[in-house]
């Protein structure tokens, strides 16, 4: 079972715990209370491993990873699109797996390797093959969804699921592009697949 939790899972778990405490009453409630999450608004300290560096941040226990990245650490490449996990603009990698950072709690990301679009390139003056492919194939227009598209596209290739255009479209279906650059995004993934050494 994964040790990362979404915001929805934590809130429903906390609500269930609060119901249990109220049903216990008296001394039983006092004994069970420490197991619950800190009260809303209580700052917690978390150490996050992001793009190969450790960052210690103080934040609200309810804060999403996306808000921590953007507002606390200045990593604004991950975009806040819908903030409901429906558009994919906030996609990052957690332990190499694409995750929606708007639905991932900051506290749940502690102890995991997080990669954002800022950490994708191998060097400061060298783009990742997927970034280069998006430029070569004109895989974006306004560019707002592009960081999330690229992060999902890299995972698609690395997981061996970029076998053909239909497979790419299926994997990338969670990333919305309001400019409708979808055909060029597919071409970019196909180009990068070869550059990344994947068949």
Last residue of a domain, one of 119, 153, 177: 119
Q: How far apart are CA 67 and CA 61, in angstroms?
A: 12
106 and 167, same domain (yes or no): no
Look up the pTM and report it.
Answer: 0.80
Q: How far apart are CA 28 and CA 56, in angstroms?
A: 35
Last residue of a domain, one of 87, 119, 151: 119
Last residue of a domain, one of 119, 146, 175: 119
Residue predicted with more confidence, 6 or 127: 127
Range of the domain at 86: 43-119
> Per-residue pLDDT tens for 68-118?
999 999 999 999 999 999 999 999 999 999 999 999 999 999 999 999 999
Output the 3-class SS for 133-189: HHHHCCCCCCCCCHHHHHHHHHHHHHCCCCCCHHHHHHHHHHCCCCCCCHHHHHHHH
Taking residue 161's Cβ as centre, other Cβ atoms within 10 Å add up to 15
What are the tokens at 121?
Answer: 């390139």
Q: How far apart are CA 14 and CA 56, in angstroms?
A: 25
How many folded domains does the chain comprise?
Answer: 2
> Per-residue pLDDT tens for 56-72?
999 999 999 999 999 99
Class of residue 135 by CB neighbours under 10 A (exposed 0-12, middle 13-18, buried 19+): exposed
| Listed residue (143, 122, 133) closest to 51, CA to CA | 122
140 and 91, same domain (yes or no): no
134 and 168, same domain (yes or no): yes
Q: Which domain CATH number covers 73?
A: 3.10.20.30
């Amino acid at each position: 079972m994964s040790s990362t939790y979404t915001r929805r899972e934590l809130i429903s778990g906390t609500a269930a715990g609060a119901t249990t405490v109220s049903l216990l009453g008296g001394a039983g409630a006092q004994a069970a209370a420490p197991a619950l999450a800190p009260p809303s608004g209580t700052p917690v300290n978390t150490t996050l491993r992001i793009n190969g560096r450790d960052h210690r941040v103080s934040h609200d226990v309810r804060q999403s990873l996306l808000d921590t990245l953007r507002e606390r650490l200045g990593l604004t490449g991950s975009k806040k699109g819908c903030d409901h996990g429906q558009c994919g603009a906030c996609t990052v990698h957690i332990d190499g797996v694409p995750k929606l950072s708007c639905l991932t709690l900051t506290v749940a990301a502690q102890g995991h390797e997080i990669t954002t679009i800022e950490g994708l390139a191998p060097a400061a003056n060298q783009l990742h093959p997927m970034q280069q492919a998006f430029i070569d194939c004109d895989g974006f227009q306004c560019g707002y969804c592009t960081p999330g598209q690229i992060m999902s596209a890299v995972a698609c290739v690395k997981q061996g699921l970029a076998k053909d255009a239909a497979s790419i479209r299926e994997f990338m279906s969670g990333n919305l592009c309001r400019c409708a650059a979808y055909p060029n995004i597919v071409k970019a993934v196909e180009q990068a697949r070869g550059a990344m050494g994947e068949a």
